[in-house]
């Protein structure tokens, strides 16, 4: 049976050979973006193409925006699957039910379109998912697959000055879908630009800019190979040479930290094409990736193209936002998972400076479900399609300085097709490196790459002791192409990875999975994820695993990552009163930064000044500097030294002056002890017991009112948290999935048995046992209350009973205050959320925030919002209202929210969370770490919370109304605000 074009394995017919992409030249072009006529059919009726013929009346059709996806414009619905194909696996066949969108657009040539040479024109599609057939003025041009790759057709001979009709039939499913099984929404449509390019006689066709840098000589060598002969000029360098000719001149090199570009022009007889030239040389030397002779360290992210309203149709402003946000968070590298991005994104990477791993539009992950039987990358019939994809990527993107590595694709298993791609790429571009993670032998690649390897494995690899592969692999550099799965709350454990990158030259960093949550804006759910559109087969919220929320607001995970990868290190020597500052850049000195020291104390005293770090301090170099003595206040209040590096002196092209780049804090004086709260006698009066400012229920021993504030819920032991995605873990990960085990054990429905309420001289003791139904494990919990008449102190002691085989989610108390106590102030870690292994960006200070703002809006609600190392916290009625103050012994984790943990746990979307009549306050002695088990290793041993005997105390006092104007809410100086 002969298969129709959409199902045959060929990449397509009729299009031009791939070539370099450029946004502008002096040749005219016409954007065909805009409103197109649109008709959706439930099946690919390939026989009827009458809509493409001249004179067809599409007046009754709907319209869609191009670029765009029709499923996000009211026609059909998106589908989310991670690795399974949402259709039967029978390559290259696709279902009969194959949503097909017919698109029509009429256009006139602009008045200034050069009519004399109307003969030369090219029609370019930058991205269509997944298969398109194209007609112009009734003549078929051809058809193509390869969704995130450009396709061009010669059309000059068909153009008319006015009334041109462009018809495009787009099928959601095609043989190409088997090669595009990336973990993301399936979003059909013409989702990137459509452009008509005038091609004057003698215009540039394809060209290849080779610009290397010799770090020993300080020179750059430029050669532009061009299909059409011409001249290359770079005025700033005095370069004026013929194409194909090499020239060597003194230059400043391009790096991601110093993205020096030189403007040039390629002039062929018929066209002038602007060039942006960056000189750099990338190589593997001594088993290490080097650029311009130096080892580089990837502080990277995986970036999918995503926008909550428009899917993978991104405008330029959004692309720029992504790059700026990355730069502002110390990120220096992007893997374009898992397809070449819109080419304009790479222009931004050249200009602003990011290392790029450009990945081919190729993934066949769903074949793993069939034991990789029939995998297209190991079947010669598909090899032309694979080579076509490799060529379209390399030819399109080869002139970008930022692209230093080509990646063959993602999660395709192994096969001859991949080897063929690697051979072709090497022959075409010997000056870049090749990456592919899926083949552990590294037969085709220049580096060893893993995803989600745990710390112990990364350590072994760093020592070149990875004996589970061929010996030859141990000579290769190593990267984590994916790690730190940023799904929901987390990822944890990043600092420990960074230490392994710093310790071993071979470990050249990694790329967090991933940049952005792919939550689609939805009227009912806020942001939708898999299953929300009624998909039969889906992978739920696994699509929301980014460092920024769908609206690009940075998550606490991004703040933590920024700190972990900061390019300046600080080490404080308290005895000597000195700080050692280390430049952790790979290339840049510190001349763009200014430095500041500040002493801050619990009594709100603060003192600061400039730290004179030599601007010329080179990469890898350190300097030891003397600090001024801590202020007098530190003698009776706990004091911290904060050190900050900010963009100062000169601006950069990626941020404003005063933008915070790096920070560190050190404690310089201890916390004074809290005066004891004793002396008062508990008194029984009828059904109540009074003790200082507290009134208790005499039967249950529960606190009822505190300083006349009626508690809506009495303080009692609490160990439950709404499991995070990382608590729940993924089925394929090793290790116990705590979130599931906790629930199975019943830790979400602990019962509190009252054993005794005892009144002695100065003490009210309440003895209890807290345990889940159906189990013999429990926590003997004793509450001991004392008072000095104005303050009330609760000491909690916890003694585990039985065999606890799981860590505890949390260990602390929770209580409820009336809803009006909705403003928090605390001295401790902030401003953002922190857990034991995600606390890198948590700074000690006095923080002030509405309870509503303390919530981290994870797309799927889960535990969030804890503040670390809190010495004291207050909850007040209004910004200057009265309230409650609580001081912890020792410091505690502070969380406040307007719903219960049970409500948070039951919620599936943000819109399920509705404020109630209580502010729920958690004062936790311990929190279990977060880890990365939603796709990766669990919580490291040092961050686990185990059931063990514990003692902790809280002293409650009245907080009087404060007439003074509160300090502004927000981050400390030198810190980016979200
Ligand atoms: C890995 C994929 O490469 C990536 O696309 C994404 O799915 C990520 O995991 C998880 O979010 S594959 C995984 C099975 C290791």
Could you read off the pLDDT of 312-330 as tens digits, one per residue? 999 999 999 999 999 999 9
118 — pLDDT class (breaks 50, 70, 90): low
542 CA distance to ligand 1 middle (Å): 9
Nearest CA to ligand 1 atom 14: 935
Q: What is the mean pLDDT of residues 911-936?
A: 98
Q: What is the mean pLDDT of residues 939-952?
A: 98
565/520 Cα distance (integer angstroms): 30
Residue 495 · residue 467 · CB < 8 Å:
no
Measured over the CA atoms of residue 629, residue 635, residue 640 and residue 644, the dihedral's sign is: negative
Q: Which CATH class is domain 207-282?
A: mainly beta
Residue 394 belongs to what H/E stretch? helix 383-397
Query: Quick one: 705 exposed, middle or buried, by C-beta within 10 A (0-12, 13-18, 19+)?
Result: middle
User: Looking at domain 683-959, does it have CATH number 2.70.98.10?
Assistant: yes
pLDDT tens digits along 254-282:
999 999 999 999 999 999 999 999 999 99
Structure tokens at 159: 């153009």
Q: Which residues are CB-neighbours of 306 under 8 A, at least 6 positions away?
A: 184, 312, 314, 516, 518, 550
How does DSSP classify residue 259?
B
Least confident of 628-632, 662-666, 751-755: 628-632
Helices 494-503, 455-462: axis angle to 10 degrees equals 10
pLDDT tens digits along 293-312:
999 999 999 999 999 999 99
Helices 343-352, 316-328: axis angle to 10 degrees equals 40
Q: Is the CB of 482 under 6 A from ligand 1?
A: yes
185 CA distance to ligand 1 middle (Å): 14
- Residue 433's pLDDT is 98
Q: Is the CB of 935 under 6 A from ligand 1?
A: yes
* Mutate-to-test residue for ligand 1 from 728, 935, 936, highest number of ligand atoms within 8 A of CB: 935
Q: What does residue 824 show for φ and ψ, rounded to 5 degrees? A: -115, 145
364/972 Cα distance (integer angstroms): 47
Nearest CA to ligand 1 atom 7: 183
What residues does 213 pair with on adjacent strands? 220
Q: Is the CB of 513 under 6 A from ligand 1?
A: yes
- Residue 970's pLDDT is 46
26 — pLDDT class (breaks 50, 70, 90): very high
Q: Is the CB of 437 under 6 A from ligand 1?
A: no
Closest atom of ligand 1 relative to the 411 alpha carbon: 3
183 CA distance to ligand 1 middle (Å): 7
Q: What is the largest CA-CA distance in the chain?
A: 106
pLDDT tens digits along 671-709:
999 999 999 999 999 999 999 999 999 999 999 999 999
For residue 908, pLDDT beyond 60: yes
For residue 973, pLDDT beyond 80: no
140 — pLDDT class (breaks 50, 70, 90): very high
Q: Is the CB of 826 under 6 A from ligand 1?
A: no
Structure tokens at 209: 């800019």
Q: Is the CB of 411 under 6 A from ligand 1?
A: yes
154 — pLDDT class (breaks 50, 70, 90): very high
- Residue 607's pLDDT is 86
182/482 Cα distance (integer angstroms): 14
Q: Where are the beta strands (DSSP E) in 366-494?
A: 403-407, 433-435, 448-451, 478-483
From the list 799, 862, 863, the residue with the least C-alpha distance to 835 is 863
- Residue 648's pLDDT is 85
Nearest CA to ligand 1 atom 13: 935
CATH homologous superfamily for the domain 566-669: Immunoglobulins (2.60.40.10)
182 CA distance to ligand 1 middle (Å): 9
Domain residue extents for the chain: 12-199, 207-282, 296-563, 566-669, 683-959
409 CA distance to ligand 1 middle (Å): 12
891/671 Cα distance (integer angstroms): 10
Nearest CA to ligand 1 atom 10: 935
Q: Across all residues in the chain, what is the average pLDDT?
A: 95
Least confident of 18-27, 117-126, 771-780, 959-968: 959-968
533 by DSSP, 3-state: which?
coil
For residue 15, pLDDT beyond 90: yes
Query: Which sequence positions are flagged as catalytic?
Result: 411, 482
878 — pLDDT class (breaks 50, 70, 90): very high
- Residue 700's pLDDT is 97
What percent of the chain clears pLDDT 70, i.e. is strictly above it? 97
Closest atom of ligand 1 relative to the 83 alpha carbon: 7
For residue 120, pLDDT beyond 80: yes
Q: What is the mean pLDDT of residues 809-837?
A: 98
- Fold equal for 566-669 and 683-959: no
pLDDT tens digits along 438-460:
999 999 999 999 999 999 999 99
pLDDT tens digits along 657-672:
889 999 999 999 999 9
Closest atom of ligand 1 relative to the 365 alpha carbon: 12
663 CA distance to ligand 1 middle (Å): 32
494/512 Cα distance (integer angstroms): 9
For residue 633, pLDDT beyond 80: no
Structure tokens at 909: 């979307």
145/129 Cα distance (integer angstroms): 8
Q: What does residue 146 show for φ and ψ, rounded to 5 degrees? A: 105, 80
365/412 Cα distance (integer angstroms): 5
Q: Do the bridges between strand 750-760 and strand 282-285 make them parallel or antiparallel, or are there none, so unpaired?
A: unpaired
Expressed in percent and rounded to 5, the helix, strand and coil fractions of the chain are: 15, 35, 45
Residue 556 belongs to what H/E stretch? helix 556-564
Closest atom of ligand 1 relative to the 337 alpha carbon: 5
Q: Is the CB of 429 under 6 A from ligand 1?
A: no
254 CA distance to ligand 1 middle (Å): 32
Cα–Cα distances in Å, from 257 out to 397, 502, 730, 801?
Answer: 21, 18, 36, 56
Q: Is the CB of 452 under 6 A from ligand 1?
A: yes
For residue 733, pLDDT beyond 90: no
Nearest CA to ligand 1 atom 6: 183
What percent of the chain clears pLDDT 90, i.e. is strictly above it? 93
- Residue 698's pLDDT is 97
Closest atom of ligand 1 relative to the 338 alpha carbon: 5
The whole-angstrom distance between residue 762's C-alpha and the CA centroid of its chain comes to 54
For residue 972, pLDDT beyond 50: no
* Mutate-to-test residue for ligand 1 from 435, 490, 513, highest number of ligand atoms within 8 A of CB: 513
CB burial string 264-290: b at 16+ within 10 A, e below: bbbbbebbbbebbbbbbbbbeeeebbb
Q: Please count the residues of the chain.
A: 978
Q: Is the CB of 183 under 6 A from ligand 1?
A: yes
- Say if pTM beats, i.e. exceeds, 0.85: yes
Closest atom of ligand 1 relative to the 452 alpha carbon: 15
370/107 Cα distance (integer angstroms): 48
Q: Which CATH class is domain 12-199?
A: mainly beta
978/859 Cα distance (integer angstroms): 17
Q: What is the mean pLDDT of residues 171-182?
A: 98
The third-level CATH classification (topology) of the domain covering 296-563 is: TIM Barrel (3.20.20)
201 CA distance to ligand 1 middle (Å): 47
522 CA distance to ligand 1 middle (Å): 25
635 — pLDDT class (breaks 50, 70, 90): low
pLDDT tens digits along 342-366:
999 999 999 999 999 999 999 999 9
684 CA distance to ligand 1 middle (Å): 62
451/636 Cα distance (integer angstroms): 50
Q: Is the CB of 410 under 6 A from ligand 1?
A: yes
Residue 389 · residue 130 · CB < 8 Å:
no
Nearest CA to ligand 1 atom 5: 183
Q: Is the CB of 451 under 6 A from ligand 1?
A: yes
For residue 977, pLDDT beyond 60: no
């Amino acid at each position: 049976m002969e298969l129709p074009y959409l199902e045959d394995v060929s990449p397509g017919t009729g299009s031009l050979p791939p070539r370099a992409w450029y946004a502008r030249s002096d040749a005219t072009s016409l954007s065909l973006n805009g409103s197109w006529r649109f008709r959706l059919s439930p099946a690919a009726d390939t026989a009827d193409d009458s809509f493409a013929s001249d004179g067809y009346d599409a007046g009754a059709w709907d319209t869609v925006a191009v670029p765009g996806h029709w499923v996000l414009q009211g026609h059909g619905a998106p589908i989310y699957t991670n690795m399974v194909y949402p259709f039967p696996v029978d390559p290259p066949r696709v279902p009969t039910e194959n949503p097909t969108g017919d698109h029509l657009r009429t256009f006139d040539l602009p008045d200034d379109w050069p009519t004399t040479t109307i003969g030369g024109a090219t029609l370019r599609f930058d991205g269509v998912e997944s298969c398109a057939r194209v007609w112009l003025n009734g003549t078929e041009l051809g058809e193509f697959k390869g969704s995130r790759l450009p396709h061009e057709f010669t059309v000059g001979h068909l153009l008319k000055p006015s009334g041109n009709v462009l018809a495009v039939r787009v099928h959601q499913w095609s043989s190409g879908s088997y090669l595009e099984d990336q973990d993301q929404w399936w979003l059909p449509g013409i989702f990137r630009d459509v452009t008509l390019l005038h091609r004057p006689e003698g215009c540039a066709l394809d060209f290849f800019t080779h610009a290397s840098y010799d770090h020993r000589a300080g020179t750059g060598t430029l050669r532009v190979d061009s299909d059409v002969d011409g001249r290359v000029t770079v005025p700033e360098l005095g370069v004026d040479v013929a194409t194909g000719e090499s020239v060597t001149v003194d230059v400043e090199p391009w790096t991601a930290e110093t993205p020096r570009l030189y403007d040039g022009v390629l002039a062929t007889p018929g066209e002038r094409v602007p060039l942006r030239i960056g000189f750099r040389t990338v190589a593997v030397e001594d088993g290490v990736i080097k650029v311009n002779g130096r080892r580089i360290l990837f502080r990277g992210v995986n970036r999918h193209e995503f926008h909550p309203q428009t899917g993978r149709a991104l405008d330029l402003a959004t692309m720029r936002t992504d790059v700026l946000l990355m730069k502002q968070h110390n990120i220096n590298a992007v893997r374009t998972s898992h397809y070449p991005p819109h080419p304009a994104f790479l222009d931004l990477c050249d200009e602003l400076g990011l290392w790029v791993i450009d990945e081919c539009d190729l993934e066949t992950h769903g074949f793993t479900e069939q034991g990789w039987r029939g995998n297209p990358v190991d079947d010669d019939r598909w090899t032309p399609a694979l080579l076509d994809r490799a060529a379209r990527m390399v030819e399109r993107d080869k002139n970008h300085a930022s692209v230093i590595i080509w990646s063959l694709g993602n999660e395709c298993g192994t096969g001859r097709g991949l080897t063929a791609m690697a051979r072709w790429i090497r022959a075409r571009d010997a000056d870049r490196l090749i990456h592919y993670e899926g083949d552990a032998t590294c037969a085709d690649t220049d580096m060893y790459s893993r995803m989600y390897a745990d710390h112990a494995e990364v350590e072994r690899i760093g020592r070149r002791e990875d004996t589970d592969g061929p010996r030859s692999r141990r000579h290769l550099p190593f990267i984590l192409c994916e790690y730190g799965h940023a799904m929901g709350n987390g990822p944890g454990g990043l600092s420990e990875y960074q230490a392994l990158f710093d310790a071993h030259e071979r470990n050249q960093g990694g790329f967090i999975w991933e940049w952005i949550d792919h939550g689609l804006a939805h009227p009912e759910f806020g942001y939708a994820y898999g299953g929300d559109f009624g998909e039969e087969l889906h992978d739920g919220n696994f699509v929301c695993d980014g460092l920024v929320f769908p609206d690009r607001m940075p998550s606490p995970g991004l703040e933590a990552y920024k700190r972990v990868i900061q390019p300046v290190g600080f080490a404080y020597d308290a005895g000597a009163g000195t700080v050692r500052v280390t430049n952790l850049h790979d290339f840049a000195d510190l001349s763009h930064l200014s430095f500041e020291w500040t002493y801050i104390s619990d009594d709100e005293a603060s003192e600061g000044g400039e730290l004179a770090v030599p601007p010329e301090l080179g990469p890898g170099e350190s300097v030891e500097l003397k600090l001024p003595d801590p202020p007098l206040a530190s003698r009776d209040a706990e004091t911290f030294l904060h050190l900050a590096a900010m963009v100062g002196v000169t601006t950069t092209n990626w941020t404003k002056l005063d933008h915070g780049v790096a920070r560190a804090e050190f404690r310089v004086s201890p916390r004074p002890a809290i005066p004891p709260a004793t002396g008062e006698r508990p008194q029984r009066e009828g059904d109540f017991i009074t003790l200082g400012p507290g009134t208790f229920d005499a039967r249950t021993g529960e606190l009822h009112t505190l300083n006349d504030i009626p508690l809506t819920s009495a303080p009692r032991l609490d160990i439950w948290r709404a499991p995070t995605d990382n608590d729940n873990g993924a089925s394929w990960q090793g290790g116990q999935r705590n979130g599931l085990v906790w629930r199975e054990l019943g830790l979400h429905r602990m019962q509190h048995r009252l054993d005794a309420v005892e009144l002695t001289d100065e003490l009210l003791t309440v003895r209890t046992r807290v345990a889940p139904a159906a189990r013999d494990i429990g926590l003997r919990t004793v509450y001991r209350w004392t008072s000095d008449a104005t303050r009330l102190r609760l000491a909690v002691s916890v003694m585990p009973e039985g065999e606890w085989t799981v860590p505890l989610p949390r260990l602390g108390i929770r209580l409820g205050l009336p809803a009006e106590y909705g403003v928090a102030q605390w001295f401790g870690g902030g401003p953002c959320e922190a857990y034991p292994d995600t606390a890198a960006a948590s700074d000690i200070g006095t923080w002030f925030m509405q309870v509503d703002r303390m919530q981290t809006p994870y797309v799927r609600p889960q535990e969030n919002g804890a503040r670390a190392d809190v010495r004291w916290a207050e909850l007040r009625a209004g910004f200057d209202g009265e309230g409650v103050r609580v001081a912890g012994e020792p410091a505690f984790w502070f969380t406040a929210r307007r719903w219960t943990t049970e409500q948070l746990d039951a919620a599936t979307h943000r819109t399920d969370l509705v404020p109630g009549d209580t502010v729920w306050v958690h004062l936790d002695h311990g929190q279990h770490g977060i880890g990365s088990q939603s796709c990766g290793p669990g919580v490291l041993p040092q961050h686990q919370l185990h059931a063990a005997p514990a003692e902790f105390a809280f002293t409650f006092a009245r907080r009087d109304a404060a007439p003074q104007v509160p300090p502004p809410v927000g981050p400390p100086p030198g810190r980016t605000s979200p």
